[in-house]
Amino acid sequence: VPIEWDSEGNIINKEAIGTQLYDELSTGFKLATSKLETVHSVTLDSGSSFRYVVYKAPSSNSSDVRYLQFISRVDAEKQLAENFGRILIICSIGSWILSIFASYYLSQKAMNPVLASWRKQTEFVANASHELRTPLTIIQNKLELLLTKPNDRIIDQMEPIALSLSEIRHLSKMTSDLLLLSRADSNATVLTEEMVDLNRFVTEVIAPYKEIAESKEMTIWTQLDSNRVSKIDPVRIQQLLVILLDNSLKYSQAGDSIGIRTEVKDNYWIVEVRDTGQGIPEENREKVFERFYREEKSRNRETGGTGLGLAIAKWIVDLHKGKIEILNNLPKGTIFRVKIPIK
Ligand code: ADP
């Protein structure tokens, strides 16, 4: 029901509009006749909100001016709008905070591998320089010592000369290993695969080691069950086997035995190099594949190791999309098991 106002601002149809609305309007509201026919909002002292529009009522008698006010209570809508606004603010602050955390987390996640490889690289360079410096210092000392004895004959100074030569050999091995690994890092090396008779290939690789083992009073046994021709990179696989055999010989003593076992199972070529040597403790089995990692460094210096062998071995296995793992050889020793997929 529209509310009717007379020109003095009194409500005429009090009965029709209900007492509560009448009370509110008659105490808190003044009709402004200047703003006709547009929608207005008003909040009264009672706290109620309304929207209304006022029209001048058509009247035959011009002295009797009346106004019709169409009014609607909008408390609920206002409350709704306020709640909505509040939710909007909370949500936008929430999503803002969330996006800050998410972007921090994601950037951290994206940066982590970069940082890790950066750290690895600096560590690698630091390790490499350190490892190169030791033999260089030894050679320098020995040569300086020789210079202090200009009248000696070579035969009198065999020891420093032999030691220097051995350090030079070590340096040369290490630089070629480093070169190989740096090529590996730049992905510059690709496999040159060819069809290879697996059993014959392994036999040929092992042959020279039989004599070396004998000279160290060790034995080498083989159990080759991979009688087939498959596609592998013979140069790299030979390098891999040589690294594993070298290690077995280095880290075993007289009386120990070294075994090479191969088989083909579920399209995988499995090669095991087993030894009964000093073994690798469980907790170091991941670490030995890291560059320059060596157990009991001082002792291993005598063996001429560079700490790069197994890192290269792992790289070769990865290149063939294979796996390399270390198992216990019972009662003592190590088993290096390589699994390479073949067709
Ligand atoms: P290194 O040139 O010192 O042999 P590697 O990367 O080949 O370097 O091996 C890393 C370390 O793993 C070695 O220093 C040695 O402590 C350990 N290791 C490797 N192979 C064997 C093995 N067959 N038996 C015992 N320990 C081994």
Residue-wise pLDDT tens digits, 33-63:
778 888 988 888 878 888 889 888 876 665 6
| pLDDT surpassing 60 at residue 298 | no
Question: By three-state DSSP, how is residue 314 classified?
Answer: helix
Question: How many angstroms separate the alpha carbon of residue 125 from the centre of ligand 1?
Answer: 21
* Three-state SS at 307: coil
CA dihedral (168, 171, 177, 182) positive or negative:
negative
Cα 128 from chain centroid (whole Å): 24
DSSP state of 244: H
How many of the other CB atoms lie within 10 Å of CB of 304?
Answer: 14
Question: In this predicted model, what pLDDT tens digit does every residue of 233-247 receive, in sequence order?
Answer: 999 999 999 999 999
Compute, in angstroms, the gap from residue 31 CA to the centroid of ligand 1: 98
> Which residues of the chain are in CATH 1.10.287.130 domains?
75-189
What proportion of the chain, given as a percentage, has pLDDT over 70? Answer: 97
Using CA positions, which residue lies closest to atom 20 of ligand 1? 247
Task: Please give all residues whose beta carbon lies within 6 A of any atom in ligand 1, as ranges.
Answer: 243, 247-248, 250-251, 275, 277-280, 288, 293-295, 300, 305-311, 334
Report pLDDT digits (tens) over 106-139.
999 999 999 998 998 898 889 899 889 989 999 9
Read off the amino acid at residue 338.
V
- The best mutation among 124, 240, 251 to test binding of ligand 1, ranked by most ligand atoms within 8 Å of the C-beta, falls on 251
Ligand 1 centroid vs 33 CA: distance in angstroms?
A: 100
The residues of the chain that CATH labels 3.30.565.10 are 194-341
**Terminal Cα distance for the chain, rounded:** 90
In this structure, the number of other CB atoms found within 10 A of the CB of residue 83 comes to 10
Nearest atom in ligand 1 to the alpha carbon of residue 295 is 16
Ligand 1 centroid–CA 319 distance in Å is 21
Fold of 194-341: Heat Shock Protein 90 (3.30.565)
At residue 10 the predicted structure's pLDDT band, cuts being 50, 70 and 90, is confident
The CA distance from 39 to 54, in Å, is 8
Q: Chain-wide mean pLDDT for the chain?
A: 90
Instruction: Report yes or no: 69 and 53 within 8 Å, Cβ to Cβ.
Output: yes
Run of H or E residues at 236: helix 234-250
What are 269's strand-pairing partners? 264, 340
Residue (of 260, 239, 218, 258) closest to 308 by Cα position: 239
Residues whose CB is less than 8 angstroms from the CB of residue 295 and which lie 6 or more positions away in sequence, other chains included: 280, 281, 284, 288
**What is the position in ligand 1's atom list of the atom closest to the CA of 278?**
25
The CATH number given to 75-189 is 1.10.287.130
Please choose, from the candidates 257, 93, 274, the residue with its C-alpha nearest in 3D space to the C-alpha of residue 101: 93
pLDDT for 50 equals 87
For residue 59, give the 3-state DSSP assignment.
Answer: coil
pLDDT of residue 46: 79
What confidence score (pLDDT) does residue 166 get? 93
Cβ atoms of 267 and 341 within 8 Å: the answer is yes
Q: Is the Cβ–Cβ distance between 293 and 227 less than 8 Å?
A: no
CA 118 to ligand 1 center in whole angstroms: 25
- Dist. CA 295 → ligand 1 center (Å): 7
Atom number, ligand 1, closest to the C-alpha of residue 333: 24
Structural contact between residues 56 and 36, judged by C-beta atoms closer than 8 angstroms: yes
Q: Are strands 257-265 and 219-225 parallel, antiparallel or unpaired?
A: parallel
Report which ligand 1 atom has the smallest distance to the Cα of 294: 14
The band of 300, judged by pLDDT with boundaries at 50, 70 and 90, is: low
The half-sphere exposure of 248 on its side-chain side, counting CA atoms within 13 A, is 34
The rounded Å distance from CA 247 to ligand 1 centre is: 6
Residue nearest atom 7 of ligand 1, based on CA coordinates: 309
